[in-house]
Amino acid sequence: MRFSRTLAAICLLASTAGAQAAAICLATADIENSDSPDGKVLILKMKNGKVWHTALQPACPGIRFSGFSRNIQGGQVCENSQILRVLQSGEVCAIGKFVPGDLPAQK
């Protein structure tokens, strides 16, 4: 009986650990350019033609006009863990979850 409880606990842990997806990280060398049309979303265009976008948390309106700096470790930008600082205003915002593809068309 003790063995079956232990086995059940291990299976439960394994299933919950597998349910959490690994964070998406993009190599900075593969990023062709970046743009933020509204200070709320950052669009990353990759050298291979793929496009990723992410919500900025909180919004950084100044990013549209003066660009940003970021502290890169390991040559990658990872979702939900990267902080950006707007160059002129000093605003600080974080990158959210990366979503593949272009932004949906605005109506």
Return the minimum-mean-pLDDT range out of 23-27, 57-61, 98-102, 103-107: 103-107
Q: What is the DSSP string of 49-93?
A: S-EEEEEEES--TTHHHH-EEE--BTTEEETTS-EEEETTT--EE
The predicted model scores a pTM of 0.74
Return the minimum-mean-pLDDT range out of 41-45, 86-90, 102-106: 102-106
Please determine, for residue 6, whether its predicted confidence score (pLDDT) is greater than 50: no
pLDDT, tens digit, for every residue of 29-40? 999 999 999 999
Confidence (pLDDT) at 106: 56
Confidence (pLDDT) at 102: 77
What is the C-alpha to C-alpha distance for residues 58 and 94, in angstroms, rounded to an integer? 7
Is residue 12 a contact partner of residue 19, using CB atoms and an 8 Å limit? no
What is the C-alpha to C-alpha distance for residues 72 and 27, in angstroms, rounded to an integer? 10
